[in-house]
Amino acid sequence: MEGLQKVVDFCIRHQTILVYSIVSLLTAASEYIFSSVVFKCPCNSNNMLYGFSFFIAPAFALFLLSFIVNPSTWHLLTGKRSPERHLQRGSRGTSASSSQLWFWIIVKAFVAPLTWIAVALLGANYYECAASGTSLIEYFYCKDNGTDCRNQLLKVPCDEELSAKISSERLSLHAQSQLAGWFLIAIIMALALIATCYSRCCSRVSYHHLRFCEIYSKKEEELFEIKAKEHATKLAERNTNSFFEVADPAPFSTPSNEDWQNISTMYTINSQEQYYSMLHKYVSTKRGNSAKFKEEGQDLTVLTFVDETQAS
């Protein structure tokens, strides 16, 4: 049992990395299936269009899908402040907070499409097909050969013997694709390391404080889900019973639209206050009715742990 508990604790501590690893593995598996089953290079003048479409179209679809399935996207879009509260707060703080949040959402959305492109380059099928139809590769391979070279080059993805013959004295298309794939992976890892170091160094909370915030955010989300289901069930039962029994419904207290609006904005932390979520701030300031809740701090810092927790 201790071993199992250690595994569970490890998964909890590194859940964000594990989620992105799973996404990358699923993307790689999908690319392998597409490359093996769906992709068939036409080996004619349409090579470039056909090959690049398998690079760009699935990557773009995964990019959009990453936005759709990321809760932070909808939290940021639907959790806007009311016009009155927006006017009370400086537009500069709002713009800076939203920009940072959008930046991290976009960065996370690139995980799946970049994985697709990197794996596709390592597999080389799409690149061989697309590159064999480009004028640059044609010039590189056929500048000193006869007029039939272009037609042979277009058939390279479909003929292994012809491919070996043409690339015997030059770097093969397969090798070019794999080199590009490894360079892309190296660049992605370097940028990920730089972005992580930058976000940690610029964070205004310590490492252990950040860990506490992450734990609190996750626990609050779990408990909120449980309580919301209980509250919704009781309200549904009350309304259903009242309808079928043709009786006046019993009094039932539920949060107002303003209450929901107050806790639905993306969380920012004020340098002069210590709250761990908008719900925490809302409850601590007498359900949002005090002037303290309505005041907006001059120096606001977006905590990326909220976005990371929700994305996982």
262 and 150 in a single domain? The answer is no
The Cβ of residue 178 has, within 10 Å, a number of other Cβ atoms equal to 16
Q: Is residue 230 part of a domain?
A: yes
- Over range 227-242, report the average pLDDT: 93
Judge contact between 156 and 132, C-beta under 8 A. yes
Judge contact between 281 and 293, C-beta under 8 A. yes
pLDDT of 8: 57
CA-nearest of 34, 41, 183 to 122 is 183
130 and 154 in a single domain? The answer is yes
Q: Is the pLDDT of residue 309 over 70?
A: no
Judge contact between 66 and 109, C-beta under 8 A. yes
Q: Which of 196-210, 219-233, 259-273, 294-308 has the lowest mean pLDDT?
A: 294-308
DSSP annotation of 38: I
* pLDDT above 70 coverage of the chain, percent: 73
Q: pLDDT tier at 16 (50, 70, 90 boundaries)?
A: low
Cα separation, 111 vs 273, whole angstroms: 34
Q: Is residue 14 part of a domain?
A: no
Residue 286 backbone zone (phi > 0: left; psi -120 to 50: alpha; other: beta)? left
Q: Is residue 10 part of a domain?
A: no
119 and 244 in a single domain? The answer is no
Model pTM? 0.73
Mean pLDDT of the chain: 77
**Last residue in a domain, options 187, 202, 217:** 202
Spatial CB neighbours of 104, under 8 Å, sequence gap ≥ 6? 72, 304, 307, 308
pLDDT of 69: 86
**Last residue in a domain, options 180, 202, 224:** 202
The Cβ of residue 112 has, within 10 Å, a number of other Cβ atoms equal to 23
pLDDT of 97: 64
Q: List the domain range (segments joined by +) for residue 225.
A: 207-287
Select, from the ranges 47-51, 73-77, 102-106, 264-268, the one with the highest average predicted confidence (pLDDT): 47-51
pLDDT of 286: 67
Give the 3-state secondary structure of residue 67: helix
Q: Is residue 311 part of a domain?
A: no
Q: pLDDT tier at 98 (50, 70, 90 boundaries)?
A: confident
Q: Is residue 161 part of a domain?
A: yes
Q: Is residue 3 part of a domain?
A: no
**Last residue in a domain, options 173, 202, 231:** 202
Q: How many domains does the chain have?
A: 2
Q: Is the pLDDT of residue 182 over 90?
A: yes
- pLDDT tens digits for 23-35? 788 888 888 888 8
Judge contact between 104 and 149, C-beta under 8 A. no
Q: Is the pLDDT of residue 78 over 70?
A: yes
pLDDT of 82: 45
Residue scoring higher pLDDT (266 or 152)? 152
102 and 158 in a single domain? The answer is yes
Q: Is the pLDDT of residue 131 over 60?
A: yes
Give the 3-state secondary structure of residue 139: helix
How many helices (H) and strands (E) the chain has is answered by: 17, 2
**Token pair in block for residue 231:** 């509250």
pLDDT of 310: 41
Cα separation, 309 vs 113, whole angstroms: 21
Residue 278, φ and ψ in degrees, nearest 5: -65, -35
Residue scoring higher pLDDT (58 or 151)? 58
The structure tokens 């003929």 sit at 159
Q: Is residue 105 part of a domain?
A: yes
51 and 188 in a single domain? The answer is yes
Judge contact between 127 and 176, C-beta under 8 A. yes
Q: Which of 58-67, 113-122, 158-167, 192-201 has the lowest mean pLDDT?
A: 158-167
pLDDT of 229: 95
Cα separation, 68 vs 301, whole angstroms: 25
213 and 68 in a single domain? The answer is no
pLDDT of 213: 83
DSSP annotation of 157: G
Q: Is the pLDDT of residue 63 over 90?
A: yes
Q: Is residue 271 part of a domain?
A: yes
Spatial CB neighbours of 295, under 8 Å, sequence gap ≥ 6? none
**C-alpha neighbours within 13 Å on the C-beta side of residue 164:** 3
